[in-house]
A and B are shown apart, each in its own frame.
Chain A
């Protein structure tokens, strides 16, 4: 009862046992474990040397229990509702994607086939990623031979309409945007063992670089980390801001932090198959068409027309799809203009490569480079290896006149040096050792790391410091859910620094990367494959060691300035090989487009005639998507959120677009389910991204037994060889 008595009892119960038992029982256990395998030792040895490096394991069977997932096969799997419920099958979504590409614009049709494997009525909820620039403008629901077209509504109204129809037993579909690149489709009143198709269409611009066009389509999402509650962020921010700096009202509770995440399947189980078809009209002669992520079957139709599909007809949705085509030297046009009519006028999408001057600085400007490495749990596995390799490569490229620092973050942030240090051989050696010792675990509290990286350096070098270039290279999978908050921090704290996000893993959050690069006035790089690290990091380095094009202005000849509405209003800085891409709406057709700017302090200008414009479909949608994005970004710069919301709703309704504030909803008027029959709501589980390893639960196994067995087997083999040798 009293402290003393209980303490004494503790000693009685625990201490006596402590010295009698555990050591010997541990040893016994260990010996038993070793003996159990001794018979198959040689086999184990030869088998395991090959797999010891962490080859995927088949998921072992959990303890026998009613309905345990023993018979799980691909396409049908088991999961638990609640911790105590029995295992059961879950709905599946099969996806077919068709891309029709003309020039730099892709029209995609994504068909999701919902399958209900259960004997009850369900509502299926499927969370899926789309490219960050995707403008979803079409929804069709197909049940049997009935086809229902989706209507655009304000988000809240769409949800009410969906829920009413669901309650009345009508088949209905709702497509909502959760994040710029994360969507949800919900299908209600899917009957027992029934199937239903949801067809979504969207428009997308492709990524361009000198001589190459790239299409990226995300098929997986990395589980996003939802950071600690906002109050702690407020605290953290005020701590970090230092003396005399008032933290702006950026950290106010933000409803954007709510995020619906699907259940993720164990890494060994794959579901939700995808098939992909690409019809390409490049508009120039193509030298090669390749994919770094999937094996393709390519059928050329002419010098610039191709059809491609996945070699394996279906692939699991566990990694992003990427396809790129290269132009024959000199045939890729330096500018392209696609135009079409839409509500309120004529629209155009303009892509223009500024003339490339001298590729690199004649005089090397000293740089201060801060590397920030995400070592959160979601990076475990292949991602962590990619990140380490990328950092080590980057460190070795530093010049003696440069200075650098290394920051690691997961739940906490720690930096190698208190502030950037000269890139001396000694410091470089320490940095490489530090990078190689990194291991992934814990949460993704990115805010503190960003603040640390962007913090102004102490004025140690005095005047000359302002001449150097500050660059922050940020390696992450972007598995965060507080994007908006982070963007605000980047915007507010950037100063002289430039932020270069590097996307790592098989399913990085591309929306976060591209916007972080935009707010950070840098450029983004994606590394999808560990073998591509060297190539892609070298490309990034060439870019950031070259002069930047800044103060870019887009204007039109032949019409008054107010007759054209260009988005984004202010073009971002451009790095080597990057084009200017803008959307425009005209009341009158201009004669030419003019781009001006400065390169390394020197002005430049380039002009493209408008008559080369080609007509295309859905150009207004691309323009509206750009305008919406710019308007939403404006909130970070102090625009009134309510006014922005109203504008976004109006744009969404006019252009039939799914946005943050508008959704597409389809309702079949005939009820299929009677009121007495119940309906359950189920999330469709999704695959863990390919190559990912650990989750939030600690990694808790050692290779001790494996090592001992390998040792025993090798010793035995040595003995056998020795004997054999003596007999010769």
Chain B
């Protein structure tokens, strides 16, 4: 009898465990696979209406490419900072300056997938942004801050050309939904390749 109970418990645990692992793996695979599809859409020469949708039912379009050469990071940025978008790639926060334009370009990403590299960034690091016009802009990291999620002022225009990257903080917290954000500020630098 006792043995039977243990067996059933074991079965329940294994089913639940596999399900949880599958869900976790799904988040990561969705993040990677989507980037591949989006990349294809981005490299597409594009039509008049901008780049095509990465998959037919996508509710977002790629708007920029973000690179951190020192960290071997190359990501396609999508439009919008909603949870739906962030599952597939970093999102450009609607209402802030468009990538490639002057002003404050704000991009948010998941701390455990695309934007994990943010924790390794240091002052002086180079970030590259390629806007829809395919022009490449250099940014130099000037500071990293931990702020509360209510800091809407970070989204405003500071009168300079800057790139603001936002992700959840702390990086290793297990439960999502904490109140803190890690914010990397980078200021536009003259391009050495010009």
Contact = CB atoms under 8 A, between A and B. Distances in A.
Contacts of B150: 223, 264, 266, 688, 695-697
Interface in B113-155: 113, 115-117, 128, 130, 134-136, 143-152, 154-155
A220 to B, nearest CB: 14
Interface stretch (A5-13, A540-548, A673-681): A5-13
Interface in A422-446: 439, 441-442
A57 B173 contact: yes
A704 interface: yes
A721 B181 contact: no
Contacts of B58: none
A459 interface: no
Contacts of B37: none
Contacts of B91: 698
Given A266-B180, A725-B6, A696 B152 contact: yes
Determine the main DSSP class of A at the interface with B. helix
Contacts of B110: 700-702
Contacts of B167: 700-701
Contact of A711 (B2, B19, B144, B176): B19
Interface residues of A, number: 78
A361 interface: no
Nearest to B120: A29
A396 B70 CA distance: 56
A701 B173 contact: yes
Nearest to A82: B153
A238 B166 CA distance: 36
Interface residues of B, number: 84
A3 B134 contact: yes
B20 interface: yes
B109 A13 contact: no
Given A21-B72, A718-B11, A708 B25 contact: yes
A328 B109 CA distance: 58
A698 B93 contact: yes
A6 B109 contact: no
Given A60-B180, A707-B27, A712-B21, A700 B14 contact: no
A36 B172 CA distance: 10
Contact of A728 (B2, B13, B148): B2
The B interface is mostly helix, strand or loop, or mixed, namely mixed
A697 B151 contact: yes
A44 B154 contact: no
A359 B14 CA distance: 56
B23 interface: yes
Interface in A36-91: 36-37, 44, 48, 51-52, 54-55, 57, 59-60, 62-63, 83-84
A265 interface: yes
17 contacts: A13-B67, A14-B69, A29-B116, A62-B180, A439-B82, A697-B181, A698-B82, A700-B108, A700-B181, A702-B110, A704-B27, A705-B112, A705-B174, A714-B17, A715-B17, A717-B17, A728-B6
Given A14-B69, A20-B72, A708-B21, 18 more contacts: A3-B134, A6-B194, A15-B74, A33-B172, A57-B173, A59-B179, A439-B82, A695-B152, A696-B150, A699-B149, A700-B86, A700-B166, A704-B27, A705-B24, A715-B21, A717-B17, A725-B7, A728-B6
Closest 4 CB pairs of A and B: A21-B72, A714-B17, A711-B21, A707-B24
Interface of B: 2-3, 6-7, 9-14, 16-25, 27-28, 32, 39, 65, 67, 69, 71-75, 81-83, 86-87, 91, 93-95, 108-113, 115-117, 128, 130, 134-136, 143-152, 154-155, 166-170, 172-181, 193-194
